[in-house]
Amino acid sequence: MRPNKEKHHNWKGGKLEDAKGYILIHKSLLTQDEINRVNLCKGHYVREHRLEMVRKLGRPIEDGKVVHHIDKNPKNNNQDNLVEVSKYEHRVLHRNDRKHSYGIFRSVTLEAEKS
């Protein structure tokens, strides 16, 4: 039996990419426990890197902390590439990005401040 959602015209296996290059994953692919832990949701989608971080940690992401991609590739959501850091640490980690690509640095920082 295939899930009904596969018939939906927008259904692409439950994954989308948002404007910032993050991968979004449909809630129907998560357990209720995972949905509760990720807690930052965009409609029916959650950000895959936050989901993978929660799976790796086995607990919710701490308040005030964000998920950083070690190789700075927002599409590499391998658990080994993800680390939970404070917003301050995150800014430090991306400090050197500024010289090369200020635009990316800015969007990452703004993202960190929102989440």
CB of 66 to Zn ion, least distance (A): 7
Cα–Cα separations (whole angstroms), residue 78 to 50, 68, 81, 83, 102: 11, 12, 5, 11, 25
Residue 37 or 49 having the CB closest to Zn ion: 49
65 binds Zn ion (CB under 5 A): no
Q: Counting contacts by CB under 5 A, is residue 47 touching Zn ion?
A: no
**68 lines the binding site for Zn ion (CB under 5 A):** yes
Residue ranges in 39-101 assigned as alpha helix (H): 48-57, 87-93, 97-100
What is the binding site for Zn ion (CB under 5 A)? 68
